[in-house]
Structure 1
Amino acid sequence: MKVPETEEDFIQWYEDCWADRDEVEYPKLFGAISEDVILLEGTGVLEGWLESELSQGQTLDPNWLPMGVRVAPPSPEYPYWTYVTTGLSNPFTVSPGEEIAESGPSGLGYEMVIHTPEEEKWPVLRLLDMMAYNLVCARLFAMGHRYPVDGTLTGGETKLAGFVFVKDATRPSHFSLPSGEVELLTLVGVTKNEMAFSRSNGMDKLMQKLADPTKPGAEYITRPERDEVKL
């Protein structure tokens, strides 16, 4: 597939891809999702990673600034809060007139999702920081990855110290845009020992231990107050 060649047509195509995700796919996936986007711009996280040794001389790309996080409140089908990035799957990695594979990734090829029982600020802050890390340091995530954090996940009293990246079996894990395919990576908060267990025994074994047979899908919801599961 060839990307539109003229600047005007390319911009329109780019905006159409963005709109397809935010105005069509996200409402289907997450219900009454807020139209507001909590932007990367102005948070300082991009600048923070640009000043780190991991940036390897990277400079700020203006395409990153309108990316951010959207929030979806609980619904009858999904009775918990959802936070999802928006922008990593923008086709900012291609240029006008470029040939791209229809089945290839759109942008970085994924967006990240966190679920919590109550409305929280920390998932937004974590997602913004991780987006900036991806964009500036060119270190991408994938299903099955583990991501430890400095301190605790919330910055407060919790035993959770990182994320594992899993496929949420209760929802679609992919969607398509005119610019390519997008995978949804669900981030689940875990302790250091749980993270180590998943490394030694596999992610499926950890998710089985996090599951609650009385609450389908409970293993995909991050509960900062929970105790470490028996390993």
Structure 2
Amino acid sequence: MPKGKSGNEKPKKSAPKKAVEKTEKMEAASSAEQKVDPPKSSAKAKSEPGCDREQLDAQKLVAAGGEITYESDEYIELEDSRVFKMLQGMQLSPEEAREAAVRQRNLLIESWNTRDELYRELFGEPHHVTPGPYAPPPVLKLEDVILPEEEKERGETGDPGNPNLDEQHLNILVYAPDPTRPYWTYVTAGLSSPWLQDAPAEVTGFGCEIMIKAKEDMPWAPQILRTLAFYILNHAGTLSPGVRIDLNGPIIPGSNSKLSNIFIWYPDDAPDCWYYLPSGGFGLFIAIGITPDERQFAESIEEYGTWCIQQVLRQMGHDQVTDPYRGTVMEQEGIGLALLKTKSFADNFRENVAYGSESFES
């Protein structure tokens, strides 16, 4: 089991670190089809039969990360963390549990502030936030910690699906168009929150935040992001570039929109795809709406299909903006040439990779 740093050195804090350069955008797309179910009331991941809930959550958290990578003034050895002890089957004393709860809240607050600073750097001031309020959780004092067994004694129960709980709040930040960004931008804030961590890890929270660009400010965009967020939370998973998802209906429920699928890719607005919070790293990705025949084209390419449909959308003037009322690009003038050029580029790229060529430029 990896250990954190020890000794008397106090590593310096840093502003949001833009680490890990964006990987080649022509990554092999995920071929597994995913379907998004309607969001459920619980905002927690499902537990498995016969497993202790907290221990299962701890296993999922460490499986997602495992190593301590972020340096802070209050450095916690992995062996001292609540997660590690639960994995080892150790019972925390009431004093240890209270200290872990305070550490978790402090990490949550620091990570919230760092992500907010990052979003302001990338997108500016939000036009509005839904739902409110949008603020870091309050500081938790040791004497104010109420342990689960104490809640039972008092007859109190926690609702894991309550979005107002400090450690579970998910916001969607909405940014208005400006001269350099002529579209509405919607970004989740909460999927990367360290809900289960009391120490830094390789990956924070569920390891991602998702955004959508739209021509107009309409309710469907935050609704889609909430659906994706609940999908991630309920299945204890994540979304990564290359994934294509069937929405099982129009992108605007009850409408005649031809967009009924989305794919996940790298947003042009974020210079890096991977960012760091005090609690660990997360990816900032974009969801883009497509029609069934556009998805069919992507799947016909085998590798690089998601990259290909993104390039076709660019060539046909849509870029990464989702317009629920647009028609399929497969009926636009000039689509034949766009498909041929894009597919040929992907085939050449695949061939150069197979032969290990270093002279090919993408």
Relative to the length of structure 2, the TM-score reads 0.52
Q: Return 192-201 or 30-39, whichever deviates more.
A: 30-39
| C-alpha deviation, 1:65, in angstroms | 4.0
Mapped pair 1:31 → 2:117 = no
| C-alpha deviation, 1:163, in angstroms | 0.6
Q: 1:211 aligns to what SS in structure 2?
A: helix
Contact 2:207 2:238 in 1 (8 A): no
Letter in 1 for 2:110: D
Alignment partner for residue 174 of structure 1, among 271, 274, 287? 274
RMSD: 2.4
Q: Deviations over 1:76-112 (max 9, x none)?
A: 2111101111100001132x3x4x44xx221111100
Question: Could you tell me how far apart the structure 2 residues matched to 1:128 and 1:122 are?
Answer: 10
Structure 2 residue aligned with 1:162: 261
Structure 2 residue aligned with 1:133: 231
Task: Give the structure with higher Rg (CA).
Answer: 2
Mapped pair 1:190 → 2:313 = no
| C-alpha deviation, 1:119, in angstroms | 0.7
Q: Which runs of 5+ in 2 are unaligned?
A: 1-67, 69-74, 82-98, 133-158, 331-338, 340-362
Q: Deviations over 1:112-157 (max 9, x none)?
A: 0000011111011111121111111223211100111122001212
Which structure's relative contact order is higher, taking Cα pairs within 8 Å and 6+ residues apart?
A: 2
Letter in 1 for 2:260: A
Contact 1:63 1:92 in 2 (8 A): no
Change in 2 beyond 3 A, CA 1:193/1:3? farther
Identity %: 28
Contact 2:128 2:175 in 1 (8 A): no
Q: Which runs of 5+ in 1 are unaligned?
A: 40-58
Question: Could you tell me how far apart the structure 1 residues matched to 2:228 and 2:128 are?
Answer: 21
Letter in 2 for 1:90: S
Question: Could you tell me how far apart the structure 1 residues matched to 2:327 and 2:235 are?
Answer: 33
| C-alpha deviation, 1:170, in angstroms | 4.4
Change in 2 beyond 3 A, CA 1:3/1:143? farther
Q: Deviations over 1:159-201 (max 9, x none)?
A: 1001100112343223211111121110000011111221221
Question: Could you tell me how far apart the structure 2 residues matched to 1:148 and 1:79 are?
Answer: 28
Bigger proportion of residues as strand: 1
Question: Could you tell me how far apart the structure 2 residues matched to 1:147 and 1:64 are?
Answer: 28
Q: 1:114 aligns to what SS in structure 2?
A: strand
Displaced runs of 4+ in structure 1, greater than 3 A? 1-5, 61-65
Mapped pair 1:69 → 2:172 = yes
Matches within 5 A, 1:1-231: 1=68, 2-3=75-76, 6=99, 7-22=101-116, 24-34=117-127, 36-38=129-131, 60=160, 62=165, 65-94=168-197, 96=198, 98=199, 100-101=200-201, 104-155=202-253, 156-172=255-271, 173-201=273-301, 202-212=305-315, 218-230=318-330
Change in 2 beyond 3 A, CA 1:170/1:13? closer
Count of residue pairs brought into register by the alignment: 204
Q: 1:127 aligns to what SS in structure 2?
A: helix
Question: Could you tell me how far apart the structure 1 residues matched to 2:124 and 2:315 are?
Answer: 24
Relative to the length of structure 1, the TM-score reads 0.79
Q: Return 124-133 or 167-176, whichever deviates more.
A: 167-176
